[in-house]
Structures are given as structure tokens and as C-alpha cells.
Amino acid sequence: MHVENFYDTRTSTFTHVVVDEETKKCATIDSVLDYDQDAGRFYTESADKVVQYIQDNGLENEWILETHIHADHITGAFYLKEKIGGKTAIGTRIKEVLELWVPIFELVDEVPLSGEQFDKLFEDGEQFKIGTLNAEVFQTPGHTPACSTYHIEDAVFVGDTVFNPNLGTARCDFPGGSAEDLYNSIQRIYTLPDDTVMYLCHDYPKGDDKPLVKTTVGEQKKKNIMLNENTSPEEYIEKRTVRDNTLAVPKLLFPSIQTNIRLGDFGEKSEVTGFRYIKIPVGMFDHAD
């Protein structure tokens, strides 16, 4: 197995291409579509790097995998499927996310609550193949109800569940999030062998530091500042709650979720103007009353 990593500096996001070197088949995990919120336009620079890599190396893309519905960037899944093919997939609990957000954005007539816009919904513990590589899905809720971790051979792709040990873990204050659930999800990941390579979805380096793309389960258990092998559930929930109360709403929250429930598609064009539209529910996070 070879893993090629792509880092998007605008959203601090890693996209991973997992390659079975024997069959030249691959899977793409957590792709990025570039979005300029101020200008109301998207472009495909980040996704095109992935496309170019796959084409240059004669690879056949089998899967476009999402670890969850991202709130800080827009997925390039629909674009990648057009360019390199592959089945789009996410965990089955995406239905809970859809039931929450689709009505908020008034998209009931456009976005299926069944999750059928994805080619595959993975059950917890479901196994699949990338070429000859063995892969298994862990449903790891907490950051969102629909978060999944992909255990592929001797590596694990954790999405936003766990960060760089110096940063800790994902926030749990989004609708449907749960610090208790995330604690239990991470404990499940920590049962893997200590030398299991853990690929991250984000890192936020300072100055000239390079982003950390991977660590190990053992390193996380020893050094994660938020949840290590000695952290009790009560301690974690308290630390996570206090920390979350200091965090701002992600700048791309509404555009990201609104489009990611459609695999990054911005929806139908208006018959009147010919434009697509992003809705912003004003006051949703206003706790003044």
C-alpha cells in the first residue's frame, strides 16, 4: 500500500489517495473543492492535483470516501467522480445529519433524506476492498453523528476524530455532536496496535512548521493533550466542553454543510437568474435570548 497526501493550505485539509500498488487501484479520502466565499465562486485547483496524480500514475480510482460531512471545507466528490470515477461513500448515519440539516436549508425537495445521493452507505464494521487491500469501516461518532474511520491494512484514516497530539481531538459542539460519543469512538481506535499509522484530516502548523500528516496510535495514546490512555471519560468531557465554549463558528459552516450533503454540488440553477444559491440561516447560533 502507498498513500499519497495532498495538503490544502486554505482549509488546512489533507486529502489522501490510497493506492494498491499491485493492481494500481486506489481510493480518494476527503477531497477538497476550492471555494471563494467572498466572490461566490468555486474552482478545482486542489481536486485537479489529485486527478493529475491518478492519471499520471495510471491508477484506477474505485472509491471517493468521506469521513463525515465537513463543516470547514467543501468536498470535491462530485467533480472527482466526473473526472476519475469511483463510488462515493460515507457511513450510514449520514441519514441523521440529513434529517437535521436538510429542513434547515429548506432543501427537502432537492436532497434525499435516504442518503441515496451517495453510491454506498457503510454499516459499522463493514468490510470492503481497494484492489487487493483490506478495508474496514468504524463508525466513530462524536464530532458529528456520521463520522467514520477507515481502517485500511496497517493504517487508519480518522477524519476529524483525532488531530495532531499537540492539538487534541475534534470539537463536539455542532448539532448532533457528543463528547461522550467521541470519547468512546477514540477508545475504539486506541484498541488498534500501537504501530498502526494514523492519517489525519487536518493540521494547523505555525510559522515555517510543516503540517503533520500522520502519527501512530501509540503516540496518540501517550501524547494527545486532550485524550490519552490515562484520560477518564469525565475528565475528557469536561475539557472538551470547556474548550468548545471558546471556539468560533467555522467560516464555511453553512456553505460546506449545505453543499456537502449533496457531495459538494451547489444544486440546481435558478430558472430566473441562472445562478445557484447558498442559504445562510441568520440567527441560528444567536444565544442572546
Domain count, the chain: 1
Residue 27: its pLDDT value, please? 98
- Confirm whether 244 is domain-assigned: yes
Would strands 214-216 and 133-139 be described as parallel, antiparallel, or unpaired?
Answer: unpaired
**Alpha carbon distance 37, 46 (integer Å):** 16
- Confirm whether 272 is domain-assigned: no
**Alpha carbon distance 114, 76 (integer Å):** 21
Residue 50: its pLDDT value, please? 98
Per DSSP, 199 falls in state E
* Per-residue model confidence as pLDDT tens for the chain (289 residues): 999 999 999 999 999 999 999 999 999 999 999 999 999 999 999 999 999 999 999 999 999 999 999 999 999 999 999 999 999 999 999 999 999 999 999 999 999 999 999 999 999 999 999 999 999 999 999 999 999 999 999 999 999 999 999 999 999 998 899 999 999 999 999 999 999 999 999 999 988 899 999 999 999 999 999 999 999 999 999 999 999 999 999 999 999 999 999 999 999 999 999 999 999 999 887 754 3
The residue to which cell 500522520 is assigned:
214
**Alpha carbon distance 231, 227 (integer Å):** 6
Among the listed residues 145, 151, 30, 129, the one whose alpha carbon sits nearest the alpha carbon of residue 92: 145
Which CATH number does the domain housing residue 252 bear? 3.60.15.10
Residue 207: its pLDDT value, please? 86
- Confirm whether 7 is domain-assigned: yes
Residue 287: its pLDDT value, please? 57
- Confirm whether 283 is domain-assigned: no
3-class DSSP assignment, residue 129: strand
User: Which range of residues forms the domain containing residue 255?
Assistant: 2-260
- Confirm whether 212 is domain-assigned: yes
Among the listed residues 164, 158, 169, 167, the one whose alpha carbon sits nearest the alpha carbon of residue 215: 164
In sequence order, what are the residues at sequence separation of 6 or more whose Cβ sits closer than 8 angstroms to the Cβ of residue 184? 142, 233
User: Which helix (H) or strand (E) segment is 198 a member of?
Assistant: strand 197-199
